[in-house]
Amino acid sequence: MDFSNFKIQISKSFIDFVGIDLNSEQCQAFFEFMNLLIEKNKVMNLTAITDPNEIILKHFVDSSILIKFYGEDFFDGKKLIDVGTGAGFPGLPLAILCPTAKFVLSDTLGKRIDFLREVIEKLKINNVELVKARAEDLGKDLMFREKFDSSVSRAVSNISVLAEYTLPLVKVGGIDVLFKMDDCDSELSEGSKSISTLGGKFHVKHSYGLIKGEPKRCILEIEKVKSTPKQFPRKAGTPSREPIK
């Protein structure tokens, strides 16, 4: 897809789904990000989504859908962390759109971090810090523990596990945002003990659709109402083996 067609497609998609009008610089950044993603994906497993139109919707729009529900002012001057960012979602699209916010993108795989470093250097993105670490270790590190206004995560772990990865990083009064499929009500119910134990309180579920005929998606908003007890997160690997119940 050439840039002219890409700009038409992504501009329409962002207006339709996110409610914002991208400027030329943002369109160019997303175009270069897409091309780097497709090219690097030929030699390492970054994403199963390689069609440009699907990348626009399922990666760029989906990552940016927070702006539809919270508005751009929500990010102004805030510090956010994307735990298990993978190929940079949702953190990197949000960083492109919200230059006054500060983002930390963390992942356990050095090759993914190397790819993201290449992207932010080429796109000249200066509001992103990259960290190679396990979430459990970040949650124990005083440089990161309860230092963020928000955590935003599209990680695949279930809610009980994901809450232990993310809530220790969010300051009291902040919010933990989990991207999930819309049919996650039973998973949310099962994760309620973990959420409350870690200092969170489920607040609201925002449902949305991207592609006709495909399952709807949602964003779960969890308020951080009290500090996470010192024993959490537990040592690396424990949350996934023994979720809080």
How many degrees, rounded to 5, is the angle at CA 33 between CA 31 and CA 34? 65
Largest CA distance in the chain: 53
pLDDT of residue 156: 76
Residue 236: how many CB atoms within 10 A of its CB? 14
CA 49 to chain CA centroid, Å, is 17
Output DSSP code: residue 48.
Answer: S
In tens, the pLDDT along 30-49 reads 999 999 999 999 999 999 99
Rounding to the nearest 10 degrees, give the CA dihedral for residues 48, 51, 55, 56: -170
- The CATH number assigned to the domain with range 71-241 reads 3.40.50.150
Q: For 15-30, b where at least 16 C-beta lie within 10 A, e where not — what string?
A: eebbebebeeebbebb
Per-position DSSP letters for 105-172, written without gaps between them: EEES-HHHHHHHHHHHHHHT--SEEEEE--HHHHHH-TTTTT-EEEEEE---S-HHHHHHHHGGGEEE
The C-alpha atoms of residue 61 and residue 10 are separated, in whole angstroms, by 8
Going from N- to C-terminal start, the domains of the chain cover 71-241
User: Which residues of the chain fall below pLDDT 70?
Assistant: none
Check: pTM over 0.75? Answer yes or no: yes
Say if residues 89 and 65 touch (Cβ distance below 8 Å).
no
Nearest in space to 64 (alpha carbons), one of 108, 112, 13:
13
Rounding to the nearest 10 degrees, give the CA dihedral for residues 104, 107, 110, 112: -90
Q: For 76-99, b where at least 16 C-beta lie within 10 A, e where not — what string?
A: eebbbbbbbbbbbbbbbbbbbbbe
- Which residues lie across from 176 on neighbouring strands? 151, 222
